[in-house]
Structures are given as C-alpha cells and as structure tokens.
Structure 1
C-alpha cells in the first residue's frame, strides 16, 4: 500500500514538472514572437528610411555669385525666411546679407559679405512694402548699384515671389542691359501675376495662350509687350506658377494664365525661358515659397552642377 502511494506521488510530481516546463516553453515562445514582431517593425522602418535616403539629393555648383530674394506685396523678412533656411540646411546656399531699401533709395544692411564660393543669398526688403512695381524696380536698381559700388559685385541672380517677380521683370526690361550694373544671370519668378488680375481669359486654352498670347491684356502686360525687346538676352528665366487643382485654375490668388502669359512674349523674342506648374494643396499662392518642390526647382535652375 505504501509503495502504491509512493508511486502515485512520483507520478503526480513528474506531471507537475512536465507542465511547468511546457509553461516555460510557451512563455519563451511568446517572448520570441514579440521580439520578432518588433524586429520586423524596425526593419520596415529601416526600409522606408532607406528608400527616402536612397533618392539622389540635389547637388549644387558652388559660386560666389549672390542670389537676391525679393518678397511680394506686403512682404517682410518672414516671406523668404523658410526657403533660405531650407537652402542652408541642404547646403545649397548661405544666407549672407539682408538689405532694406527705404523709399528714397537709402540702403541699410544686416550681416556680413564674405565673397566666398558658397552660393551667397541676399534677402531684399522694401521698407514701403506695398508700393508699385515701377518704384520697386527703381529700388532693385538701387540695390544692384549698392552691391556693385560697395562690394564690386558684377553678377547676380534674382528670385521674386508674386509682386517681387513682376517688379524684377520690370527692372530687367528697363535696366537689364545697363553696363554699369551687375549682370543678372538667372531670374526666377514664383506666382507672379504678369497679366495682372483681370478677367476674360478663363476659357482660353494654355496652348492657345502660348501660341497667341492672352485674349485680354492688362495695362501691365501691354507695357511689357512694348518693352520685351529690352529684356537682356543673357538672362535665363524660370517661371513657376501654382495650380491647386480645385477648379480655380490657379494658386488661389494668381491664375495660371496670368502667370504663364509672359511665356508668349519670352518665346516670340527667342529668350531663354522655361516654365513649371506646381500642383497640389501646397501650391497656394502664400505656400509656393514654402513648397519643397519649388525649393528644388529654384536651386536646380540657379545652381545646377554643370
């Protein structure tokens, strides 16, 4: 009887040991599965990062030629602040100076001109930031005269957003060929209303606009038509316009047709001209200079590696 009890005790004890081992194996199996899942998640993230990092980053040719950034109507130092910061982060350029122009043409500066081959960038601010394009063209001339006189700069690039693009173009067709001023090598217009904000061209196809010019022309456009032959032939132009693709046929402020209207004048006079339409929710007028696609278009056009 005692042997039976002892044998039964051994069987029960052995069962308990086996069950305990199975539980430990199950626990170990669950832990391994959790670790595997975490590793899979990490691996997935690594693949995503790898795909992002594998895209060829834009490389730029480094020169000492400064690029001037000119804000739009009512613009401030904040207008191009984001773009200039992103350019620096990408090592595309270096923010060197901020020049503020008073209505009488007097210029004050912040920063330090180093004359280094780091694609220097200069932000131009108009103290009277809501003045007309004719006066702004005069102030752009004052800035270029200042750079030539003070720093012996003989060549620049211009980037203008909205009204800044219109005023820059007006400068080019008025003073762009003056030999006493620095040469403008590259000019980028972003969301510039070259045919103002008038109506009457909504039904015109973009192909017809390119071939024949706008159906209805503003006074601004008519004036550009008479002056276009004075546009300097050495100045290449990139024209960037926005299309929200929401039925507005534009960036919410400037219509595609107003922005692209200048292409007809540039092409008929055989100027070096290129245009790009940026689409999507970040193609709104005030977001164009915050759009990374615009960043790349501008940087590639001005500083592309030869």
Structure 2
C-alpha cells in the first residue's frame, strides 16, 4: 500500500512538471496567442453610456465577463481591477444582470466609452445558477441587448466558474444564429464541464485530457453530444488553479473536470490551450490571482 502511494505521488509530480513546462511556454512563448499589439492596461474613460442603433465601429470587439453562481459581479471587479488598475468598473464598464427567476428581467448600468476598441461588459444572473442551459438563456438575453444597442458583430467571452459552463452551452446553443455576434476568443477561468467530477479508480489526468473522463455526468454528455456546433474558428483557453496539489483541485473544481472537454475541442479543430497555474487562492478568490490577470491581458488585450 505504501509503495502504491509513493508511485502515485511520483506520477502526480511528473504530471505537474509537464504542466509547468506548458505554463512556462505559454507565459513566455505564447505561440498560439494572437495578441493585439499588447497595449498598456491603463484604461481611463468615465464616458457617458451610448445607447442607440448606431453602426458598429470597425474593429470594436467587446469582452463579456461572465460571473459564477454567486449572483453578482464582485469577482469580476477584482479580476478587472488587476488587469486595468486605473479603471472604475462602475463607470468604465457596462454591467448587465438577467434575472432568470423574473421573466429574464434585464438590468443595465454603467458606461461604454464610444472610442474604446475593446469595451468591457460584466454579466451576472441570479445567485445559485449553475446549470448550463439556464446560463445559456440568460447570456443570450444579454448579448441580444448588446447587438440591439451597439451592433457588435464579434465578441470575446471570459467565463468564471459556472459562467464558463454557461458560455460553452451558449456557444453550442446559438452558434448557428447569424443575428448574434461571432465568439472570437473564449477563456475558461476554473470552469466546470463535468459537474465537479473527480478522477476515478485507474484514471489519470493525462488520460482525461487525451480521451475524456470515465465518469460522464449529464453536463459533460450534453457538451460531448453537441460540441461540433461550436465554431471551430473560436480560440479557446482553459485555465485552472493549482490550489490543492494532492487533491488536484482549486478547492471546488477538479482539474479533471475543467480539462474534461479539452479533447473534444481539439477534435473540433479549435485552437485550444491549457494553463494549470500555481496559486495560493482557492476557487472563489481566483479572480484576484495576478497570473490569471496577466494571462487574460495577453490573450485579449
């Protein structure tokens, strides 16, 4: 028994070393990252919100930051505060909340700078929402609002926790809808795609990444059945925090869960990257992690 425990520990170390190499390469040699001139993260606008069906300006691609099941955008404020230290999310971002328990009631606040080529939109729905189909519906309501008022034709998405689940469901459910903007890049921040499923007996993280999980929850099965509906030109980045080394989790979502659909999207011909990053933060505080903030800045801005 002791010998098996030692072998398991050594094997886990090897996996982490391999992820460390991927992390190092992604950090310093991001071959798959299409960085848009890597401009300084010093957004300052405090502009009035522009409402109206004016033509979308060429080259404007907003980023929709989707919060998790907490029901508010506080985690997103922490995330954006690290990416852009000089912005005030209440004044420099548009915040959209969709109440799925009250006929998808839409609440909008904040501002978008009309001269900004990469506007920031924060999104949340009601507390406790962790089902992909509910998130998908709410995200569609928010994006329809953006299309109606700003005529966006492309969009980036950052999905945190259950927000990542919702984003994947949204892309599956709506990719064929040409009235909605194309998703250019999607970043999964400690996202959940197999209902917090952990490694099973005889299973390794490496085998999950290559072939998918042994335990397949309804959430995973839905994605596995429909992943080919996702636009293969969408760039996808999976990020997962290494908070608990021995249990291979960020404190809530297992590594085997967040990386469970990696092989499906590779098969779909998407450009897909994985980042397992060292962190002292557990799941709920991951948006405060500087490594996370730096990655998102590189990928999108």
TM class, shorter-chain normalised? Answer: 0.7 to 0.9
Q: Which residue of 1 aligns with 2:261?
A: 262
Query: Cα distance, 1:192 vs. partner?
Result: 1.0
Q: Which residue of 2 aligns with 1:84?
A: 80
Equivalent residues in 2 for 1:127-206 (5 A)? 127-130=126-129, 132-201=131-200, 203-206=202-205
1:96 is the counterpart of 2:74:
no
How far apart, CA to CA, are the structure 2 residues paired with 1:105 and 1:280?
Answer: 36
Q: Which residue of 1 aligns with 2:38?
A: 60
Looking at secondary structure, tell me which structure has more helix per residue.
1
Q: Which residue of 1 aligns with 2:245?
A: 246
Q: Which residue of 1 aligns with 2:108?
A: 109
Helix, strand or coil for the counterpart of 1:89? coil
Cα gap change, 1:95/1:278 in structure 2, threshold over 3 Å: closer, same or farther? Answer: farther
Cα gap change, 1:181/1:119 in structure 2, threshold over 3 Å: closer, same or farther? Answer: same
What TM-score do the two structures reach when normalised by structure 2? 0.75
Helix, strand or coil for the counterpart of 2:75? coil
Q: Which residue of 1 aligns with 2:292?
A: 294
Deviates more, 1:144-153 or 1:107-116: 107-116
Cα gap change, 1:202/1:85 in structure 2, threshold over 3 Å: closer, same or farther? Answer: farther
Deviates more, 1:228-237 or 1:63-72: 63-72
Q: Is the 8 A contact 1:100 1:124 kept in 2?
A: yes
Q: Deviations over 1:21-41 (max 9, x none)?
A: xxxxxxxxxxxxxxxxxxxxx
1:285 is the counterpart of 2:283:
yes
Q: Is the 8 A contact 1:88 1:95 kept in 2?
A: no
Deviates more, 1:291-300 or 1:131-140: 131-140
Query: Cα distance, 1:239 vs. partner?
Result: 0.6
Query: Cα distance, 1:131 vs. partner?
Result: 5.6
Query: Cα distance, 1:208 vs. partner?
Result: 1.5
What TM-score do the two structures reach when normalised by structure 1? 0.74
Structure number, greater radius of gyration:
1
Query: Cα distance, 1:250 vs. partner?
Result: 1.1
How far apart, CA to CA, are the structure 2 residues paired with 1:249 and 1:106?
Answer: 39
Q: Deviations over 1:170-221 (max 9, x none)?
A: 1011112311001111111111121112345365222222222112211111
Q: Is the 8 A contact 1:160 1:166 kept in 2?
A: yes
Cα gap change, 1:223/1:112 in structure 2, threshold over 3 Å: closer, same or farther? Answer: same
1:70 is the counterpart of 2:66:
yes
Query: Cα distance, 1:256 vs. partner?
Result: 0.6
**May I ask how many residue pairs the two structures share in their alignment?**
245
Q: Deviations over 1:236-275 (max 9, x none)?
A: 1111011124311111111111111110111122211111
Q: Is the 8 A contact 1:245 1:280 kept in 2?
A: no
Q: Which residue of 2 aligns with 1:4?
A: none
Q: Which residue of 1 aligns with 2:31?
A: none
How far apart, CA to CA, are the structure 1 residues paired with 2:167 and 2:175?
Answer: 10
How far apart, CA to CA, are the structure 2 residues paired with 1:129 and 1:97?
Answer: 22
Structure 2: which 5+ runs fail to align? 1-34, 41-58
How far apart, CA to CA, are the structure 2 residues paired with 1:197 and 1:245?
Answer: 15
Q: Is the 8 A contact 2:197 2:256 kept in 1?
A: no
